[in-house]
Amino acid sequence: MQSSYILSIDQGTSSTKTLLFDEAGKVMARASEPLKSYYHEGGWVEQHPEEIYENVLQSVEHCLNEFKARGGNVAAIGACGISNQRETFVVWDEKGVPLYNAVSWQCKRSIGVCERLTREGLQEMIKTKTGLIIDPYFSGSKLIWLYENVEKVRHAIDSGKAYFGTVDTWLLYKLTEGKSYFTDYTNASRTLFFNLQTLQWDAELLSLFGLSQLNLPEPKPSAAFFGETTFNELLNHPIKITSMIGDSHAAAFGEGCFTPGTAKATLGTGCSIMMNIGSAAKLSGHGMITTICWSTEDRVDYALEGVIVTCGATIEWLKNELGLFAESKETETMVKAVPNNGGVYVIPAFSGLGAPHWQMDRKASISGLTFGSTKNHLVRAALESIPYQIKDVIVAMEEDTGISLAELMVNGGMTSNRFVLQLLADLLGKSVVNKEMPDVSAKGAAYLAGLQAGIYKDLDHLAKLNTEKKMVEPSGNTQVQAWYKEWQHIITST
């Protein structure tokens, strides 16, 4: 029987989604299982490693049951792809027993470690080798914290009996009963240990961090053979795991960021923007992170990534705290009631400003209020802050690389707001493309897995799948550039 279905697992921070894709790239079944995080004092955030694994099994089981209920034949499932929350990691011993809880990407326990590494003057070396900045966001500083503060972890590392893995590696290890110990380039590139030029773990950095004896998974391209699994006998036949990739990178691949200048923006609570910059890593001089975009066995594409801290969260604040509207969908009507923002600008630095400004101690502000200002002006200014911030990031990426944006693919909850997408297209002067696929990370992992398994022929084949999309073209409104210039003035002068 021809193996024509791909099981795709998107293991996220708050849930695991499992989807089944067919050879035409269509979703045949899906399931989602919520996952718990544990929040402690001091900004510590953890998850239980075994709960992550069990959560995946539950999600897969529910997806398979839905597929079978619709008459699907599980024997025709031939490959599996995994996308995952990125910087969260697990450390375990030679028996596969976790030495500590999974430390979340959200965890801030290593602020002191980062301050020390900065004082030691390691910023330039780390950026040159890894493309990253010194920040608690990335796995490495938190592993250093565990090594220095948890005796069991320190002893295991020093004795060569500690095994490190981001969530993809932990799941692979569990799903293959310890037979496979790999990661992919995208997840490796988020650790502070991975050299973007050699595509290997960097021995010099590991030595500086005191982690030379740490066992690390073998890095592979995102599309590769990683092992086989029956998902703890949920399947009566083993299937090959043929892709592993970090979720934001999977989203970029799922959106079709196959060539330099193509980019995706995920418009959710915050916003992650990733631009494909081609076959060479280029370091940013404007606050971007350099990372692996995606890779196959014969190709590695790099990317610049910019993280906007507050996007849709600004609109939620206006709704929940100021009560300016009952439902977010009302904002489009409110915007239409005023021809412009009336000189009002919202700087949404509720948790500081991210890329490209990196003013993390800045506070949110509202500029330009007069007695003529209405709540409609305020709502419009808040919505405008989203495209303005994205424009800031895109301009910085273009300056870093000399590559012009070709088009911007968008996904996430805020893409339902037509005003935001039109202003974004007008500001960028480029097409904004919305494929309206809610599970784009799972899609990217599935496409890579199908590519490796031979279910999909090549990138051209993938580009022809699911071509339904909504295009938002620039309207020719030249006024928006004057508004953006005023935004830049406020950002730089206050």
Q: What pTM was estimated for this model as a whole?
A: 0.89
Nearest Cα residue to 10 out of 449, 483, 379: 449
Q: What is the three-state SS of 450-478?
A: HHHHCCCCCHHHHHCCCCCCEEECCCCCC
Q: Which two tokens stand for residue 327?
A: 């439902």
Question: Phi then psi for 295, rounded to 5 degrees?
Answer: -155, 150
Mean pLDDT over 403-410 rounds to 90
| Alpha-carbon gap, residue 194 to 289, rounded angstroms | 14
pLDDT at 438: 79
Amino acid in the structure at residue 86: R
pLDDT in tens, 318-331: 999 999 999 988 99
Sorted by sequence, the CB contacts under 8 Å of residue 485 that are 6+ apart come out as none
For each of the domains in the chain, give its residue range(s) and CATH number, in order of start. 5-247 (3.30.420.40), 256-493 (3.30.420.40)
pLDDT in tens, 7-52: 999 998 888 999 999 999 999 999 999 999 898 888 898 999 999 9
DSSP string, 85-148: -SS-EEEE-TTS-BSSPEEPTT--TTHHHHHHHHHTT-HHHHHHHHS--S-TTSHHHHHHHHHH
3-class secondary structure, 328: helix
Residue 2 pLDDT more than 70? no
| Alpha-carbon gap, residue 489 to 482, rounded angstroms | 11
Residue 391 pLDDT more than 90? yes
pLDDT in tens, 192-248: 999 999 999 999 999 999 999 999 999 999 999 999 999 999 998 999 999 999 999
Which H/E stretch holds residue 435? none
Q: What is the mean pLDDT of the chain?
A: 93
Q: How confident is the model at residue 1 (pLDDT cuts 50, 70, 90)?
A: very low
| Alpha-carbon gap, residue 62 to 17, rounded angstroms | 10
In the 8-state DSSP scheme, what is residue 36?
A: -
| Alpha-carbon gap, residue 183 to 139, rounded angstroms | 14
Question: Phi then psi for 245, rounded to 5 degrees?
Answer: -165, 145
pLDDT in tens, 42-93: 889 899 999 999 999 999 999 999 999 999 999 999 999 999 998 999 999 9
